[in-house]
Amino acid sequence: MSKWLVVGTDQRLNILNDVLEEKGCESCYLAQDSFDDKLKLILEEWQPNRVVLPLLAMKQPIPAELIGKDAVLYTGQTAPGWLAELNKSGINYQSYLENEYFIWQNAQLTAEAFLQVFYEQTKRQIAGKHFYIAGFGRVGKAVAHVLHSLQASVTVAARAEEQLAEAGLLGYTPVRLTPTVHFPDGYLVNTIPSQWLEAASCLHIFDVASAPGCLKPGQTSEYYTIHLKLPGIHFPADAAAVLADAILRMDTEERGATCLKENESD
């Protein structure tokens, strides 16, 4: 039987532990983001074979020798050096941040949470407004879709030719993202996780990508705001449900793959 340990201070992980227990799983929760003696004691006494780690990389990761050989780790962001240690020790791990189901569902929650941020900050309606979406990955597509459905005018700025072609096909105005691209009016929603933008003097910029944000080093703007972990902040229960579904799907596939390997070896 699977014994789960969920580690992390993000509210989604606390709720995830509750979801696992509601589904009949044996689960233990520890609200911290770094390895210490308390986590060591739980690993030794609880001996989990399923461990869910924080969304952000742990300040001090778990030593590989404390992880059972039959355990599966479900990780968020991780330090490359620690992954190398896990690989050397033959420990099985998967990143839920790279799971397509989680990525798309999380993108939808991010788009809906952005609407709440926009309403709170601007006290304006979306219909009839002009929005630029920088980047057309999963989050960019989700944000563009919800804005377009609310009758906003949407311009997609991207570098890839296929993304520009897709944006045009979906009814958005495509514009190539270059170092000299200009956003003359409206609102800019950044979904690109890199520092690429020189701040405009009056353009309102909503950054929904990861830290440190899209402004180039040394750039500042009173009209710039960054919004991290939007799903977890605005929809913690829904975000936790998405995370739980993704991890349980991954675990079902993992158990299926393990059974297949055992049958092949018989």
Domain limits of the chain?
Answer: 3-98+236-265, 103-232
Burial of 227 (0-12, 13-18, 19+ CB in 10 A): buried
Residue pLDDT tens, the chain, 266 long:
789 999 999 999 999 999 999 989 999 999 999 999 999 999 999 999 999 999 999 999 999 999 998 999 999 999 999 999 999 999 999 999 999 999 999 999 999 999 999 999 999 999 999 999 999 999 999 999 999 999 999 999 999 999 999 999 999 999 999 988 889 889 999 999 999 998 876 789 999 998 899 999 999 889 999 999 899 899 999 999 999 999 999 999 987 644 334 434 44
Per-residue DSSP letter, 88: H
What pLDDT sits at residue 262?
41
Helix, strand, coil percent values for the chain (each to nearest 5): 45, 20, 40
Q: Annotate 182-235 with DSSP letters as a single string.
A: ---SSEEEE---S--BPPPSS-EEEE-S-TT-SBPTT---TTEEE--SHHHHH-
CB-CB neighbours of 190 under 10 Å: 27
Q: Annotate 117-156 with DSSP letters as a single string.
A: HHHHHH---STT-EEEEE--SHHHHHHHHHHHHTT-EEEE
CB-CB neighbours of 228 under 10 Å: 13
- Quick check: do 3-98+236-265 and 103-232 share a fold? yes
pTM: 0.86
CATH number of 3-98+236-265: 3.40.50.720
Question: 176 phi and psi, to 5 degrees?
Answer: -75, 135
CATH number of 103-232: 3.40.50.720
Distance CA 85, CA 35 (A): 15
Which long-range contacts link 192-198 to residues 24+ away (Cβ below 8 Å)? 192/134, 192/135, 197/134
